[in-house]
Amino acid sequence: MTKKSTRPLILITNDDGISAPGIKNLIEAAAPYGDLVIVGPDSPQSGMGHAITISKPLRIDKVKIYPEHTAYQCSGTPVDCVKIAVDKIMHRKPDILLSGINHGSNSSINVIYSGTMSAAVEGAIEGIPSVGFSLLDYSYEADFTFSREVVQWTIQRILKHGMSKGTLLNINIPKLPIEKVKGYKICRQANAKWKEAFDERVDPNGRKYFWLKGEFDNFDKGKDTDEWALKNGYVSVVPVQFDLTAHQEIKKLQKWTS
Amino acid sequence: MTKKSTRPLILITNDDGISAPGIKNLIEAAAPYGDLVIVGPDSPQSGMGHAITISKPLRIDKVKIYPEHTAYQCSGTPVDCVKIAVDKIMHRKPDILLSGINHGSNSSINVIYSGTMSAAVEGAIEGIPSVGFSLLDYSYEADFTFSREVVQWTIQRILKHGMSKGTLLNINIPKLPIEKVKGYKICRQANAKWKEAFDERVDPNGRKYFWLKGEFDNFDKGKDTDEWALKNGYVSVVPVQFDLTAHQEIKKLQKWTS
């Protein structure tokens, strides 16, 4: 980071931890397009959503696992990684932020629980064109060959078209052999939810405990959703925003104050 | 919960922990309007955003600190509290979910980092009319007198008008004596962010650590925002949605696939 470079500066993070195969594949796919700075969590942070670390200190340590790049592990959440990268590690605002490649889907309502996506949301809040990538395969042995193509397809388009302020992308990749993938679909977030069914168990001391378990319930029949795209062999590309205002409700709620 | 009741069933949670003054005031304000079930975190969970606990078990324990009501503390995040309340503690879907009263603002971009608001978002995902309340006063000695009025104003309106599916409310209360409050304003989320400035320190072992610190930067001059309302003596009421799709971007992004 001391040499001056005119190449794009790309910040890379994830939520599965800095040593996960997903981020390794993201790094290798992105490397030809810019100078990379990697700041990933030092342990898995799945399901952390937009959590930040307020009540305890954060650590960052330089690591050598990606020797061709500047890489740090951070003791915090994915959002902490982005915040500390921008404030303390990088000498200028990155041109692109890439988060992932997540092991498992972040389509539909999962965008809200996902550490991968929250890191990308935080990047967008910072004004950085940001993307979260997820492959629909939880296995650490997953084949990322096509996912790497998706990463490069995306970077090429960001460099060519830019991205609108206040928005980011949620890109999910179906678990399919390359020849079966039908292409890319720009979609909306499907209206779906997890139906909880906590697993109830008893510990060796006789005390009850619960483990989060659930079933994904997609009640959205739209063919313009990410769920439809993924089920039908497409890569889903959902533009996401961090303005959570339900603008259409503002007029309706006026009657509350009259 | 064993007697049949025709009164509204109200789920109460927060992120400051079940013993915080804010939730006590929320409970006392809501009690005349229904049967309460309280499920709060057993420790402070500020800044947890929409985090859920995936990789370790959850505990729930019945507590007696609010003897007139059914109350449980949960070892997880605010979102965990809502999930386990709905799945394991309540015998039917609650009619209303109230989260808070948070000690400190959740206006503007804070909605994204807030455990209080994420609990309300989770309620809305479950199809429950849900509201998060925050008082702009961090002190545990804060005066909640007017905040209790705001809670009752809100419950009365939910019972009369209902709430639109897929939406919830983010209500912030200025730190003002009652006579100085000008009323309620239905607003949009102001476009603002935190400018990070991590505090860099050295521990007794000579190792560096960082503490999250920042400055709130509101670059939104709109008079229809929550920040404007709060600065001008109003209670801000922002309708929030969990569909994060930036719908206006879908058409623009089509050129990426052609």
pLDDT in tens, A149-208: 999 999 999 999 999 999 999 999 999 999 999 999 999 999 999 998 999 999 999 999
The first and second tokens of residue A133, run together, are 């990538």
Residue type, A234: Y
Cα distance between residue A94 and residue A81, in whole Å: 13
Quote the Cα angle for B136-B141-B144, to 5°.
55
- The whole-angstrom separation of Cα A111 and Cα A105 is 9
pLDDT above 70 (res B18): yes
Whole-number Å distance between alpha carbons of A5 and A34: 9
Concatenated DSSP letters of B122-189? HHHHTT--EEEEEES---TT---HHHHHHHHHHHHHHHHH---TTEEEEEEE-SS-GGG--EEEE-B-
What residues of A are in contact with residue B77 (Cβ under 8 Å)? Answer: 51
Q: Which helix (H) or strand (E) holds A73?
A: strand A70-74
Task: Identify the DSSP state of B55.
Answer: S
Q: Which residue shows structure tokens 């794009």?
A: A8
Task: Identify from A248, A253, A254 which residue to disrupt to test chain B contact, counting B C-beta atoms within 10 A and taking the largest count.
Answer: A253
Q: Is the pLDDT of residue B1 over 70?
A: no
* Residues forming beta bridges with residue B167, ordered by sequence position: B241
Compute the distance between CA of residue B77 and CA of residue B100 in angstroms, rounded to an integer.
14
User: What's the whole-number average pLDDT of chain A?
Assistant: 95
Q: What percentage of chain A carries pLDDT values higher than 90?
A: 93
Q: Which amino acid is at A23?
A: I
Chain B touched by A140 (CB under 8 Å): no
Average pLDDT over residues B124-145: 96
Q: What is the pLDDT of residues A110-125, one digit of tens each?
A: 999 999 999 999 999 9
pLDDT-derived band at B6, boundaries 50, 70, 90: confident
The domain spans of chain B are 9-191+223-243
CATH architecture for the domain at B9-191+223-243: 3-Layer(aba) Sandwich (3.40)
Mean per-residue pLDDT, B53-80? 95
The pLDDT confidence band at residue B101, using thresholds 50, 70 and 90, is very high
Q: Which residue has the higher pLDDT, A33 or A48?
A: A33
Backbone angles phi, psi at A3, to 5 degrees: -70, 145
Q: What is the pLDDT of residues A49-88, one digit of tens each?
A: 999 999 899 999 999 999 999 999 999 999 999 999 999 9
The closest CB to that of A212, out of B49, B58, B157, belongs to B58
- The fraction of chain B above a pLDDT of 90, given in percent, is 92
pLDDT bin (cut points 50, 70, 90) of residue B258 is confident
Under the banding of pLDDT at 50, 70 and 90, the label for residue B3 is low
Nearest to A256 among B59, B157, B200 (CB): B157
> Which of A186, A253, A147, A120 is closest to B245 using CA atoms?
A186
β-strand partners of B62: B72
Tell me which chain A residues have a C-beta less than 8 angstroms from the C-beta of B51.
47-51, 77, 113
Overall average pLDDT of the B13-36 stretch: 97
Instruction: Give the residue on A whose Cα is nearest the Cα of B213.
Output: A54
pLDDT for res B4? 67
Q: What is the mean pLDDT of residues B104-132?
A: 97
Degrees to nearest 5, angle at CA A120 with A116 and A126 = 145
Which CATH superfamily is A9-190+223-257 part of? Survival protein SurE-like phosphatase/nucleotidase (3.40.1210.10)
Q: What is the amino acid identity at position A33?
A: Y
- Using pLDDT thresholds of 50, 70 and 90, give the confidence band for residue A3: low
Q: How high does pLDDT run on average in chain B?
A: 95
Dig out the tokens for B248 from the structure. Answer: 């206006």
ipTM above 0.85, yes or no: yes
